[in-house]
Structure 1
Amino acid sequence: MGLETALWRAVAVYRWVAFGYAAVLIAANAHKYEHPLGGWAVMAVMAAWSGCTTFAYADPSRRRRPLLAADMAVTTGCLLSTAWVESVWGLTHGMPTLPASWVAAAVLAWAVAGGRRAGVAAAAILAAGNITINVLAGVPPVRGLGSGTFNGIMLLFMAGLVVGHVVKLARDAEARLARAVELEAATRERERLARRIHDSVLQVLAMVQRRGGELGGEAAELGRLAGEQEVALRALIGAGTPAPAGGAEAPADLRALLARHGSTSVTVSAPATPVTLPGHAAREIEAAVAAALDNVRRHCGPDARAWVLLEDDGAGGVTVSVRDDGPGMPPERLARAEAAGRLGVAQSIRGRVRDLGGTVTIVSAPGEGTEIEMVVPAGPVA
């Protein structure tokens, strides 16, 4: 049984319990009414409408504005009939209306269907009906609107507001639970696929890499490529859940983005816990790392190795280092490249990190490789 079904069943149960209470009051006070037969007629209408709404609200396709409007019309009619059935003495001395607390069932139905606003609107309609009773009977509103009637009106407003709010919270909780169940199912399916890939594709790639290295020549190159694809595929199936969609500022785990660049020649090291950044910042850092690795491939040769280290200091800063074992470069080389119009490092790395409010430090010397350290704030940048 879902949440909606449980809520509407609760409204139906309350309607019948409140009808029983109203029936007892009508039976006990019928001899005091101005028109006793009118009281019995109203009780019959309430019984018939309680049965109709019990079956009507049970069908989700009927829980729409026409049924809600009809529910409010019948409830208001039973309420206003008090002005004709009840005596002037009863109205001036605070006797309960004919439907008594039965009218709150319509408020609950509106609150369940439309939330807080609909519940408060239904309470306002019935509050106006309580005041109209005295006008129809010719009783001054000040005399007829006693403390009991006023308390009943306030209870209607509180019921509409509180029940509508609780229903909204319950629906939100149900939606989050459904989303969690979907994510759990997706995670299990991902793990199942990862096991199948591990048992088939990854083992084949590993065998190709091993046999290619043994055969040498062109086979060795094929083996190297197979090894790189094996590392990339392992990173893909082990990266975890991707960042949620929702625009450029949706948070993203920087670990998963950097893990895509791992290969047989590139080692990516990251913390065990997520390093979450705004989506734009995470993608810019990944692009800077990709530019640094591209420089390694172009300037250090195919046999060069690179290491990417991701660190989160826990105080709002993230550090990403890219180090290689290439030939290195003299200190003035970057300045000469920028002056000549080659802006790979200046724009692709320094420019991106600078726009994020971070800094870039490049340490290199001939024969000692190069290390690029990028430090960026973890929070959003103005």
Structure 2
Amino acid sequence: MAEMGGEMGIEGPFWRAIAVFRIASLAYAAVLLVRAGGYSHPVAAWAVIAVMAVWTAVTVVAYPVVHPAAPPARHGWPLLVADLAVTAGCLLATPLAQTRADALAGTIPVTATWVAGPVLAWGVSRGRRAGAVAAAVMSGADLWLRGVPGADVASIPVNGAVLLFMAGVVVGHVAQLARRAEERMQRAVELEAIGRERERLARGIHDSVLQVLALVQRRGAEIGGEAAELGRLAGEQEAALRALVQAPALRGEGSLDLRELLRPYGTARVTVSAPATPLVLPAETAREVRAAVGAALDNVSRHCPDGTRAWVLVEEDGQTVVVSVRDDGQGIPEGRLEQAEADGRMGVARSIRGRVADLGGTVTITSSETGTEIELTVPLARQGPGSLARQAPGPLERRASGRRKRV
């Protein structure tokens, strides 16, 4: 349960309702006192009413009613405990104003219904369980006050205790639901704002940067020579940037569409193929897979000849996600990966294999003189590192030929 404090938002009406209830209950207790002629000890009774009035004023100011954006310490546990203690004290002070005969006759305590105030406050602040705890404390004090040694427990009225429990649990549960609804609404508003900002930036980029890159690509091809190479690079960046500004990556709270994360890798030399439907993964899993794919493509650009093409294929079978990165380079020489790891170059060992292993998946590298294939297999439901058992060859393994290494 989140601590109280800051802008209360949807909780504000709850606190105002509790304040109104306290004031109305205080007035009701005073009316009962007047009708009863001050009970057996009027001075003590009016003293209790005075304490109740002062504490009601304190709670109206201290709880987020008058100052909904007050610091959290002002409505934290100390105030809640003090509220419960003061209210219980006023309730237990009833014998000072009434006689035992009044209690046995069923006369309502001097506090009347005012005792429900802290129960409601605990429920709104900390949820239904806290409301039930506060109700148990106040009900225990009330039942102790009404009981007498040797009395039949069945003769002790329990209606008030039942009502307190119902109020604490129900109000606490409703407050929790309202708080969650507000959080989801706020999240939806933030996502809408992000979407609008993305659209605004996309329009600006389309009207400026993308047009310039397209112009450079076209004029470079016309001029030829070194300008053609600059034009080709501009075309690659245009494709990557266009995919980026068009990618609504966030699909749900804590989830990402893996397709949208991988599409920006597509360029004139890198082809990205993915399913037509969203492939939603936990955000951490999706980012780690994207980073592993990026590391594989970085190896292609670093270690393969200029002009080497690469293909990224994304597949999903209901239980696992398989992402393969294939290139048409010269392949990985025998023992190259082991030597690189021994020399402290951990690109494949950590950036690819380590990431996928942490997700509970496996990495298969197939290399030949016609190119290299790196297959990343990640379970849709994380089961811990190394827990995924490969039951059948993956799609790339069925196509692969030449030297194979499992890393």
TM-score range, shorter chain: 0.7 to 0.9
Alpha-carbon offset, residue 374 of structure 1: 4.9
Alpha-carbon offset, residue 202 of structure 1: 0.9
Distance in structure 2 (CA, Å) of the matches to 1:348 and 1:67: 51
- Aligned amino acid, residue 34 of structure 1: S
The answer for the alignment partner of 2:380 in structure 1 is 378
- Aligned amino acid, residue 233 of structure 1: L
Give yes or no for contact 2:313–2:325 (8 Å, CA) kept in 1: yes
Q: Secondary structure at the match of 1:308?
A: strand
Alpha-carbon offset, residue 115 of structure 1: 4.0
Alpha-carbon offset, residue 226 of structure 1: 1.2
Alpha-carbon offset, residue 208 of structure 1: 0.5
1:231-288 CA distance string (max 9 Å, x none)? 222233233336999xxxx765432442232111112122241342673576357535
Distance in structure 2 (CA, Å) of the matches to 1:351 and 1:22: 72
The answer for the alignment partner of 1:216 in structure 2 is 224
Which stretch of structure 1 is more off in the superposition, 3-12 or 280-289? Answer: 280-289
Larger Rg: 1
Distance in structure 1 (CA, Å) of the matches to 2:28 and 2:88: 18
Which stretch of structure 1 is more off in the superposition, 203-212 or 167-176? Answer: 167-176
Alpha-carbon offset, residue 228 of structure 1: 1.6
1:159-214 CA distance string (max 9 Å, x none)? 33443343334323323322332232122112211111111011101100110110
1:112-162 CA distance string (max 9 Å, x none)? 34445654454344345335546xxxx724539765543323433443344
1:312 aligns to 2:316 (yes or no): yes
The answer for the alignment partner of 2:240 in structure 1 is 232
Which of 41, 60, 70 aligns to 1:35? It is: 41
1:307-336 CA distance string (max 9 Å, x none)? 3221223x2122334445x4x77xxx7674
1:270 aligns to 2:278 (yes or no): no
Q: Which runs of 5+ in 2 are unaligned?
A: 1-7, 386-407
Q: Which runs of 5+ in 1 are unaligned?
A: none
1:3 aligns to 2:10 (yes or no): yes
Q: Secondary structure at the match of 2:265?
A: coil
The change in CA–CA distance for 1:375 and 1:119 in structure 2 (over 3 A counts) is closer
TM-score norm. by structure 1 comes to: 0.75
What is the 5 A alignment of 1:1-382?
2-30=9-37, 33-36=39-42, 38-39=44-45, 42-43=48-49, 46=52, 49-50=55-56, 53-57=59-63, 58-60=65-67, 61=70, 62-63=74-75, 68=80, 71-72=83-84, 74-116=86-128, 118-131=130-143, 133=145, 140-143=148-151, 147=155, 149-241=157-249, 253-271=257-275, 272-276=277-281, 279=284, 283=288, 286-287=291-292, 290-291=295-296, 294-295=299-300, 298-299=303-304, 301-313=305-317, 315-324=318-327, 326=328, 336=334, 341=339, 355=357, 356-358=360-362, 360=364, 362=366, 374-380=376-382, 381-382=384-385
Give yes or no for contact 2:30–2:49 (8 Å, CA) kept in 1: yes
Distance in structure 2 (CA, Å) of the matches to 1:12 and 1:306: 67
Give yes or no for contact 1:310–1:320 (8 Å, CA) kept in 2: yes
What is the percent sequence identity of the aligned residues?
48
Two-structure CA RMSD over aligned residues (Å) = 4.1
- Aligned amino acid, residue 303 of structure 1: G
Q: Secondary structure at the match of 1:202?
A: helix
The change in CA–CA distance for 1:141 and 1:204 in structure 2 (over 3 A counts) is farther
Q: Secondary structure at the match of 1:310?
A: strand
Alpha-carbon offset, residue 14 of structure 1: 1.8
Give yes or no for contact 2:135–2:165 (8 Å, CA) kept in 1: yes
Distance in structure 2 (CA, Å) of the matches to 1:232 and 1:195: 16
Distance in structure 2 (CA, Å) of the matches to 1:12 and 1:349: 58
Alpha-carbon offset, residue 30 of structure 1: 3.3
Alpha-carbon offset, residue 91 of structure 1: 1.5
Distance in structure 1 (CA, Å) of the matches to 2:285 and 2:363: 17
The change in CA–CA distance for 1:261 and 1:316 in structure 2 (over 3 A counts) is same
- Aligned amino acid, residue 322 of structure 2: T
